[in-house]
Amino acid sequence: MLWVKAFHIVFVAAWFAGLFYLPRIFVNLASVPADSHAERERLLLMARRLYRFAGILAIPALGLGLLLWLYYGIGRGPGNYWLHAKLLLVVGTIGYHHVCGASLRRFEQFANKRSERWFRVFNEVTVLLFAAIVVLVVVKPF
């Protein structure tokens, strides 16, 4: 079980690393001048690759988490409400990942209406999700 837990943590951290950096690319994309086609295309290429890579990393992170929960029984039993909260935040993280994908598509279609500042704030959501998930798993406050 410890190997499964270790690899779950590695893949979760790697997935979040992608989610930490992808909105930073969006910040740069939102501030690219309209006449700077080469820079825009370079940033879009980076964003596409990072989005795909983060999506690939999410699969084993989620799969190993399910294995820990359903096979090894982590968080099952009475009084493990921290797991319910964690699962809610995991669903939120999956949603955040999809919002990043929608933002990327808007940039590709020249349809982005959000500012550089908006993406700077949006980028902080992942920090809050990651911190809350870690606290729930380590502290198990309820």
Instruction: Give residue-wise pLDDT tens across range 34-93.
Output: 889 999 999 999 999 999 999 999 999 999 999 999 998 888 888 899 999 999 999 999
Mean pLDDT of the chain: 96
| The CA-based dihedral angle spanning residues 47, 52, 56, 61, taken in that order and rounded to the nearest 10 degrees | 40
Output the pTM of the full model.
0.94
* Distance, CA of 108 to CA of 91 (rounded, Å): 26
Exposed / middle / buried, residue 126 (Cβ in 10 Å: 0-12, 13-18, 19+): buried
Instruction: Give residue-wise pLDDT tens across range 108-141.
Output: 999 999 999 999 999 999 999 999 999 999 999 9
- Three-point CA angle 20, 135, 81, nearest 5°: 120
Exposed / middle / buried, residue 19 (Cβ in 10 Å: 0-12, 13-18, 19+): buried
